[in-house]
């Protein structure tokens, strides 16, 4: 049976009321997976007091989830094509729910890291399956484009709304509630997905290349560990060996993809300028957004002394602008053209990050609210353009691979933001005085030493300023690249409306 015959054999939902109800069900896992990228930002101080993780464990708790998602997205997308997208979606939801319950009641930092890793594996099945099923729910091209825009808005908005929901939960419950809330939501998905979502699987595909899967994970994780280790202990033999191991595995991975007939990652796609522009823009935007969200959440609580709920409320303006401009990003692309839309959005996001540099050890909440809201405008436009531009930049037969790569860029950017910008801020903090490894630990350990705590807060703000400035610089460089890439941006943008 051919791929087309296999697709036709699956029931296809209409684009009427049932299709939109099906989309609503698909948005549940998208929101959860995206939200869980940032939901821990506000919970980290409370979690630190309870589980007493080391500085390295804190970063692993935050970013092991994102790195496993990034490493497995393309694999799970291919798996869904072979065994059934709805089947993989439901299996992933089950794994994600079990892991969430385990994380909620984790007795130690090590158990929480393991639970977050399991959540990453489950989350990697949810994103590609949910986006791929939209094409089955909406045969009409215009409705499908609208549905993809809504999907992207929830994916982008979930990362921004995560700290807000986390703050509300932490105001009333323990830190475990930020994970436990996933369980009832996923139960709704497990009940209604078999009723509202069509199954889809393609035949005549070769088996998954398991060595490629192992090489991708085996390359990413050692490289990230090297960055973390250098941030905590400085450059040494262990960091060098880890970096070399990661680079070596990734080099072998790339070479293997070039030889395979059905590669896990089609490297030829990156020779297309507009595709590379979309992927680079999403990675840069998510990297800076992750750094901004992580550092500002610590600043709001550990520096300014706000409780989680009051800190979360100050994040509402950015959450709103990210969501609203995610929905309207396609219109901006059609009006300005692809490269100018990306350039403008990246520039606006950079300006927002620069404004956040107005925060200090003794105030600056207004600068944070204004800067983060302006940055949210740029982030929203970037995120909603990425999926459409990435798919439009490649032939139809490669659209599935392009979608998997675009989703991977979101997750990889988020993880890189936490690992690189978070580690940079930590490095500046620790080099500024005789403090504990983190600001939270310093406050706990030296709670009565006012002078030392003031110096520690000043040092954290300095580290945050450094990382935010680097994030803004990355955005500005990517904006310049967007201007330089492609000469037919306006015509290409019109094609993305589909």
Residue 407 has pLDDT above 80, yes or no: no
Q: How confident is the model at residue 181 (pLDDT cuts 50, 70, 90)?
A: confident
| The pLDDT of residue 376 | 92
Predicted confidence (pLDDT) per residue in 333-351, tens digit = 878 888 899 999 999 999 9
pLDDT of residue 400 exceeding 70:
no
Architecture of domain 3-208+264-495: Up-down Bundle (1.20)
The pair phi, psi for residue 337, each rounded to 5°, is 95, 155
Number of DSSP helices (H) and strands (E) in the chain, helices first: 21, 0
Phi and psi, residue 284, nearest 5°: -65, -40
Instruction: Tell me how far the alpha carbon of residue 160 is from its chain's centroid.
Output: 10
pLDDT at 393 over 70: no
Q: 361: which 2 tokens?
A: 């050890």
Q: At which residue do the structure tokens 């065994």 appear?
A: 83
Residue, of 186 and 401, whose pLDDT is higher: 186
To the nearest whole percent, how much of the chain has pLDDT over 70?
Answer: 86
pLDDT of 373 over the 90 cut: yes
Q: What is the pLDDT of residue 131?
A: 75
Give the CA count within 13 Å in the CB-facing half-sphere of 97. 16
What is the rounded average pLDDT for all residues in the chain? 81
Of the ranges 289-298, 320-329, 401-410, 431-440, which one carries the lowest mean pLDDT score?
401-410
For 42-87, what is each residue's pLDDT tens digit? 677 778 888 888 877 877 887 788 778 877 877 787 777 777 778 8
Q: Looking at residue 445, what is its pLDDT?
A: 82
- First CA to last CA across the chain, in angstroms? 29
pLDDT for the residue numbered 288: 94
Write out the two tokens for 172: 């009333």
Does the pLDDT at position 37 exceed 80?
Answer: no
pLDDT at 31 over 90: no
Q: pLDDT higher for 12 or 233?
A: 233
pTM: 0.77
Q: How does residue 132 score in pLDDT terms, banded at 50, 70 and 90?
A: confident
Check: CB of residue 330 under 8 Å from CB of residue 496.
yes
For residue 132, give the nearest of 192, 92, 187, 182 by alpha carbon. 92
Domains of the chain, by residue range, sit at: 3-208+264-495, 209-263
Separation of alpha carbons 161 and 295, rounded Å: 16
């Amino acid at each position: 049976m051919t791929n087309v015959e296999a697709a036709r054999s699956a029931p296809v939902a209409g684009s009427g009321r049932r299709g939109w109800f099906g989309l609503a069900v698909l948005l549940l896992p998208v929101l959860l997976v995206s939200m869980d990228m940032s939901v821990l930002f506000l919970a980290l101080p409370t979690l630190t007091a309870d589980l007493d993780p080391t500085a390295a464990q804190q970063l692993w708790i935050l970013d092991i989830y994102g790195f496993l998602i990034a490493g497995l997205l393309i694999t799970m997308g291919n798996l869904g094509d072979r065994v059934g997208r709805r089947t993989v979606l439901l299996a992933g939801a089950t794994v994600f729910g079990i892991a969430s319950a385990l994380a909620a009641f984790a007795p130690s930092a090590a158990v929480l890291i393991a639970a977050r890793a399991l959540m990453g594996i489950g989350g990697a099945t949810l994103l590609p399956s949910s986006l791929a099923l939209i094409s089955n729910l909406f045969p009409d091209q215009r409705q499908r484009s609208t549905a993809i825009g809504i999907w992207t808005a929830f994916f982008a908005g979930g990362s921004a709304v995560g700290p807000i929901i986390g703050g509300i939960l932490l105001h009333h419950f323990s830190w475990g509630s930020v994970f436990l809330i996933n369980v009832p939501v996923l139960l709704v998905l497990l009940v209604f997905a078999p009723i509202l979502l069509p199954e889809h699987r393609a035949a005549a595909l070769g088996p998954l290349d398991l060595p490629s899967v192992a090489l991708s994970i085996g390359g990413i994780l050692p490289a990230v560990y090297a960055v973390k280790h250098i941030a905590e202990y400085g450059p040494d033999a262990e960091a060098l060996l880890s970096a070399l191991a990661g680079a070596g595995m990734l080099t072998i991975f790339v070479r293997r993809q070039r030889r395979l007939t059905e590669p896990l990652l089609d490297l030829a796609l990156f020779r297309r300028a507009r595709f590379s522009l979309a992927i680079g823009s999403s990675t840069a935007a998510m990297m800076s957004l992750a750094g901004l969200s992580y550092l500002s959440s610590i600043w709001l609580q550990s520096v300014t002394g706000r409780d989680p709920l009051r800190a979360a409320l100050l994040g509402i303006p950015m959450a709103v602008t990210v969501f609203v401009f995610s929905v309207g990003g396609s219109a901006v692309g059609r009006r300005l053209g692809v490269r100018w839309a990306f350039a403008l959005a990246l520039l606006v996001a950079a300006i927002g990050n620069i404004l956040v540099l107005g925060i200090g050890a003794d105030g600056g909440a207004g600068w944070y609210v204004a800067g983060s809201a302006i940055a949210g405008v740029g982030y929203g436009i970037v995120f909603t353009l990425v999926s459409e531009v990435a798919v439009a930049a490649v032939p139809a037969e490669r659209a599935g691979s392009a979608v998997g790569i675009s989703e991977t860029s979101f997750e990889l950017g988020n993880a890189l933001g936490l690992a690189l910008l978070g580690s940079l801020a930590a490095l500046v903090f620790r080099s500024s005085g005789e403090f504990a490894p983190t600001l939270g630990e310093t406050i706990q350990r030296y709670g009565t030493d006012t002078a030392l705590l003031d110096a520690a807060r000043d040092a954290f703000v300095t580290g945050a300023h450094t990382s935010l400035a680097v994030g803004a610089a990355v955005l500005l460089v990517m904006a310049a690249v967007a201007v330089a890439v492609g000469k037919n941006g306006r015509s290409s943008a019109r094609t993305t409306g589909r």
